[in-house]
Amino acid sequence: MAVPFYGRASAAVFSPLESLSRSELVVRRLTDAIALGLLPDAEQLPGELDLAGIFGVSTVTVREALSVLRSEGLIETRRGRGGGSFVRTPANGVGHLAQRRLGRFSLGELRDLGDVYAAIAGASAALAARRSSPEDADRLRRVADVLAEAKAPDARRRADAQFHIEVAAAAQSPRLYHEEVRLQAEFGTLLWLAFGDDDSHAQMTRSCRAVVAAIAARDPHAAREAAEQRVADSTARLIDYQLSEDRS
């Protein structure tokens, strides 16, 4: 088989397209959300038309995805008035759902995702330190407080996600913000598997405060370092988690 050579500059253009089909991507996104408790039991999903609009896919694709989720017992669809699709948390818990997705990644791939996330989080924090007004720093402090006070694992995950989003917004860069959202969907959902217990929560709260302090002090170097460390800690925890799960 001939391997075409396009040169470095064209690499992105001719890289393979996302290998999953559109409907598989929708299934994965909704399964992740159910596994993480972001979509709690009995929550009603938006209608097919709305889902199609939100994900930017056709209603046929949405219907395909919902039928897969239905066959896996993750949603229940009721007809008629007050009908719609409702989340069904599986009786044996959500751990195995997330585990199944995590199991597809090698340790090296997880490390690689962590490297990219650290680069984005670090750059966002460094720019936020250069560009944050005292008002921005106050807002970050409030989000860090919400994280510190959160008790339930899913509330902690939401607060952690919100903190990353706020830092990316404080960098004043819509593109870094969008990259943050993309990475949260791809990798944050995995990181949160190993996040939520008291131990990890204490560590994340500490590192959050370190990022806020550096941004408030307008110190880009310290902010970058603290944000990179924060992602490195999360990634290390996830890798440890996968290693321990494999043993059982």
Partner 1 sequence: MTQVRKRLTAADVTRVRTAVSGLADQAFGLTERIAAASAAGLAGKDAPRRADLAAVEPVVVPFLADAAQPVQGAGFVAASGLLQDAGWWLEWFARDADDRPQRLVTHSEPQAIGFYDYEHLPWYVVPRETGLCHVTGPYVDYLCTEEYTLTFTTPVLVDGRFCGVAGADIAVKNAERVILPALRAAGARLAVVNSFGRILSSNSGRHLCGDLLDDVDFTEIPASHRIGDLPLAVVPLG
Q: Which of 233, 236, 152, 241 is nearest to 198 (CA)?
A: 152
Taking CB under 8 A as the binding criterion, the range among 1-9, 22-30, 77-85, 170-178 that sits at the site for partner 1 is 170-178
Q: Is 148 in the site for partner 1 (CB under 8 A)?
A: no
Q: Is 149 in the site for partner 1 (CB under 8 A)?
A: no
Task: Round to whole Å and give the CA distance between 135 and 116.
Answer: 29
CA distances from 9 to 16, 18, 147 (A): 15, 20, 42
Q: Is 59 in the site for partner 1 (CB under 8 A)?
A: no
Residue with token string 């391997």 = 3
Find the length of the chain.
Answer: 248
Instruction: Determine the straight-line distance between the first and last CA of the chain, rounded to whole angstroms.
Output: 42
Contacts of 7 (CB under 8 A, 6+ apart): none
Q: Is 117 in the site for partner 1 (CB under 8 A)?
A: no
Nearest approach, Cβ of residue 216 and partner 1 (Å) = 13
Is 163 or 241 the residue whose CB approaches partner 1 more closely? 163
Check if the beta carbon of residue 157 is closer than 8 Å to that of residue 37: yes
Nearest approach, Cβ of residue 11 and partner 1 (Å) = 28
Apex 199 CA angle, 165 and 121, nearest 5:
25
Q: Is 75 in the site for partner 1 (CB under 8 A)?
A: no
Q: Is 213 in the site for partner 1 (CB under 8 A)?
A: no
Q: Is 164 in the site for partner 1 (CB under 8 A)?
A: no
Q: Is 50 in the site for partner 1 (CB under 8 A)?
A: yes
Nearest approach, Cβ of residue 187 and partner 1 (Å) = 18
3-class secondary-structure state, position 105: coil
Q: Is 142 in the site for partner 1 (CB under 8 A)?
A: yes
Interaction site with partner 1 (CB under 8 A): 33, 38-39, 43, 50, 130-135, 139, 142, 158, 165, 168-169, 171-174, 177-178
